[in-house]
Amino acid sequence: MILPNRLKEGDKIGIVAPAGPPNREKVNKSLSFFEQLGLRVHIGNYLYDERGYLSAGDEQRLEDFHEMIADRSIKAIFFARGGYGSARIVDHLDMNLIGNNPKIIWGYSDITYLHTAIRQATGLVTFHGPMAASDIVKADFDRFSGQLFKQLFEPTELIYSEKVSPLYVYTNGTAKGEVVGGNLSLLVSSMGTSYEIDTKNKLLLIEDIGEEPYRVDSMLNQLRLAGKLEDAAGIIVGDFADAEPTVQPSLSLTDVFEDYFRPLRKPVIGGFKIGHCFPHFSLPLGVVAELSSESKSLTIDSGVR
């Protein structure tokens, strides 16, 4: 496990878009948030070079990311938005460059593909958190979500309890392990590739948006058949936004979760505001955490040094 260095006031950070095209106005709005944190911002060269549903061509998106990694004056990389496209460049990532220049890498959703690939290849801890141009500029981006960026400035143990949101226990138990995972559909899309997620003795985080119960059912079934649910030490069920069924009759999302999680002999807890939601609880991936049904809590080690 490699912990990136913490940020300091005055540090320079980079914003790139390895997936969908960000809105220029929204990116500009996000700059004030980072400036209030005492950070200086450098924009990727190809951030606004749209190519259909991609922010730029594959080579350009990859070049932007590699440049930010190689530039020693850049102390952290924040992604502008998700969408689709990270998987198209994952097999061209220079893992030696990334491993030799460890720094904070922050994003979620489609970025799940990069988180998983980078962590499993280099051991670098990365961060699951709100995007620069698609989250922190929204009207409902709240103070609590903003305060969680402070974990980047000082080694901080994070504790998620019912003080943050009501939590629902599917299966009892207590387990420790590295936190891995992220967006469920991205995790499933990596199955059978070199970037397939390793859940052995890990705490598996899942979240998603816009997936109906039958789709979530299908994806969880694929993870089950691949042994990923059985391998995990515990499961953290994040937010599943816009999951209402449009096809009737339908199981509820709770029905689906109970079908897959109740038979497991390990802690499975839902209700975490992690994902496409506010508040958005940001957390490091790859660090050790403890998930407990007894205290209804998730306690997470620091992600920086």
For the annotated catalytic residues, the residue numbers are 109, 207, 276
Selection from 53, 47, 61 nearest residue 18 by Cα: 61
Distance CA 184, CA 222 (A): 11
Distance CA 24, CA 211 (A): 28
Residue 13, classed as helix, strand or coil, is strand
- Sign for the CA dihedral angle at 190, 191, 197, 202 comes to positive
Give me the count of residues in the chain.
Answer: 305
Selection from 87, 268, 238, 252 nearest residue 170 by Cα: 268
Both structure tokens of 69: 């990694």
Residue 163: what residue type?
A: K
Element (H, E) at 206: strand 203-209
DSSP class of 152: G
Distance CA 159, CA 157 (A): 7
Element (H, E) at 126: strand 126-128
Cβ atoms of 17 and 47 within 8 Å: the answer is yes
Cβ atoms of 115 and 98 within 8 Å: the answer is no
Contacts of 294 (CB under 8 A, 6+ apart): 172, 174
